Amino acid sequence: MFNFTKSLIFAALLLPATAEAYVKWVDEKGVAHFGNSIPPQAASRAREEKNKHGLTIRTIRAAKTEAEIAAERALAGRELALRARLKKQLTKDRVLMRTFVKEADLHAIRIGKKNSINTRVAQIQRNIIRANKKVLSNQKKAADYERKGQTVPVFLIQELEGLEKTINSSQKAINDYRAREKNIDEKLDQDLFRLRQLYGLNTLLKSRSHFSVGADIHKNTFECSNVDECTEAWVLAKQYLTKMAKKHTKNIPLLTSEIFIATPEVNDAAQYRILIGREFLRKKGARILIHTECMNSPSGKRLCKSPTLSNIRTGMKDFIQTHLDFITLTPN
């Protein structure tokens, strides 16, 4: 039977004779030690300083090993590299948002640039047609000279050679314009994709201020503390969205990037959209947020307040945390 009095006597015997403040530390075998001070050979180990009542008054962490220090430096280096990349991208994003207030602005730019190219190409094609007609005419003249047994004049030969060069260079110019047109399309497609990401992320960030209960922000948000954890968490967030999309909306994510993922926009009151975004914090770490969008109608609003969508929103944080713990416990 447990004897509380005997236990207290035993604990008292372990304390220093002065019954004043003492130090508790654990050796490499897990055995706890008590004394007035920690021995020199254990100076690097974690310890607790306690008062005469056994209450901890100070905790001293174990000294970091060289491997731990190197790992921390490497992590800090990755964090700095990420911040530099984000700063550069943020500058581009600000220019993009100022240049194109809405998607229609970007489409107008595309149409204008392509019309300009097509106008120039049409002009070059007309020049090629005229040059080809001139070539046929000069070839006929050259044939007439040969039928008469006469030497084809040098000026006619030179003119034919010049026309051939003109046609070749004109065709090359057309090819260059078509390549430029393709580059414009690719660049504007990238801008459009990024613009949609930024608009989607802004919608998601604004949604935080619309929660009627402050606790919902915490329940629907996962926070990570460093670049490695945040990278793993973002991968898991995309896995969660894909899983929820296949199970509930029967759609695969429409936009997938380093800041925003979402299912397609809805066009029916019975449908809803799932959005997940990543907001990088000022110094390190990030927040991953989830939001659901429904049609702006009475039935759509009821859908967004339903238990199904509430579970989708609150389930992301648990999904990430559970799988992140598993990854941490079973490193590659």
Q: State how far the Cα of 99 lies from the Cα of 106, in Å rounded to an integer.
A: 8
When mean pLDDT is compared across 53-57, 201-205, 317-321, the lowest value belongs to 53-57
State how far the alpha carbon of 271 is from the alpha carbons of 265, 274, 297, 303, 314, in Å.
9, 10, 12, 8, 19
pLDDT of residue 216: 59
pLDDT over 90 (residue 45): no
Q: State how far the Cα of 230 lies from the Cα of 227, in Å rounded to an integer.
A: 5
Residues whose CB is less than 8 angstroms from the CB of residue 120 and which lie 6 or more positions away in sequence, other chains included:
177
* Distance between first and last Cα of the chain: 47
pLDDT of residue 301: 87
Q: Which residue has the higher pLDDT, 157 or 200?
A: 157
Q: What is the DSSP letter of 248?
A: I
Task: For residue range 4-33, list pLDDT tens digits in order.
Answer: 444 434 444 444 444 577 777 677 777 777
Mean pLDDT, range 199-205, rounded to an integer: 80
Q: Assess whether 139 and 202 both reside in one domain.
A: yes
Q: State how far the Cα of 79 lies from the Cα of 56, in Å rounded to an integer.
A: 35
Q: State how far the Cα of 34 lies from the Cα of 24, in Å rounded to an integer.
A: 5
Q: Which of 191, 207, 223 is the last residue of a domain?
A: 207
Residue 200 lies in a domain: yes
Q: Assess whether 153 and 52 both reside in one domain.
A: no
Q: Assess whether 322 and 286 both reside in one domain.
A: yes
Q: Assess whether 221 and 304 both reside in one domain.
A: yes
Residue 84 lies in a domain: no
Q: What is the DSSP letter of 3?
A: -
Task: For residue range 114-155, list pLDDT tens digits in order.
Answer: 999 999 999 999 999 999 999 999 999 999 999 999 999 999
pLDDT over 90 (residue 180): yes
* % of the chain at pLDDT higher than 90: 35
Mean pLDDT, range 212-224, rounded to an integer: 70
Q: Assess whether 175 and 240 both reside in one domain.
A: no
In the block, residue with structure tokens 């809405």: 102
* Domain span including residue 246: 212-329
Q: Which residue has the higher pLDDT, 88 or 186?
A: 186
Task: For residue range 233-258, list pLDDT tens digits in order.
Answer: 999 999 999 888 887 766 665 667 78
- CA 50 vs. chain centroid, Å, equals 47
pLDDT over 80 (residue 326): no
pLDDT of residue 9: 41
Kindly report the backbone phi and psi dihedral angles of residue 272, in degrees, each rounded to the nearest multiple of 5, phi listed first.
-145, 160
Q: Which of 174, 207, 240 is the last residue of a domain?
A: 207
pLDDT of residue 235: 92
pLDDT of residue 7: 44
Q: Assess whether 51 and 110 both reside in one domain.
A: no
pLDDT of residue 212: 44
pLDDT of residue 33: 78
Q: State how far the Cα of 330 lies from the Cα of 327, in Å rounded to an integer.
A: 5
Q: Assess whether 236 and 322 both reside in one domain.
A: yes
Q: Assess whether 184 and 120 both reside in one domain.
A: yes
Sheet holding 286-294, edge to edge: 221-224, 286-294, 272-280, 260-262, 255-256
Q: Which of 156, 191, 207 is the last residue of a domain?
A: 207
Structure tokens that stand for 216 in this block: 């919902």
Residue 3 lies in a domain: no
Residue 193 lies in a domain: yes
Q: Assess whether 217 and 182 both reside in one domain.
A: no
β-pairing, 56-60 with 221-224? Answer: unpaired
pLDDT of residue 94: 87
When mean pLDDT is compared across 19-23, 107-111, 180-184, the lowest value belongs to 19-23
Structure tokens that stand for 198 in this block: 């930024």
Q: State how far the Cα of 278 lies from the Cα of 258, in Å rounded to an integer.
A: 8
Residue 98 lies in a domain: no
Count of the separate structural domains present in the chain: 3
For the entire predicted model, the pTM comes to 0.61
Q: Which residue has the higher pLDDT, 91 or 132?
A: 132
Mean pLDDT across the chain = 82
For residue 285, give the CATH number of its domain: 3.30.530
Residue 125 lies in a domain: yes
When mean pLDDT is compared across 52-61, 99-108, 312-321, the lowest value belongs to 52-61
pLDDT of residue 329: 60
Q: Assess whether 180 and 229 both reside in one domain.
A: no
Residue 31 lies in a domain: yes
Mean pLDDT, range 84-90, rounded to an integer: 84
Q: Assess whether 249 and 320 both reside in one domain.
A: yes
Under the phi-then-psi rule, with left for phi > 0, alpha for psi from -120 to 50, and beta for the rest, what region is 19? left
Residue 257 lies in a domain: yes
Q: Assess whether 174 and 141 both reside in one domain.
A: yes
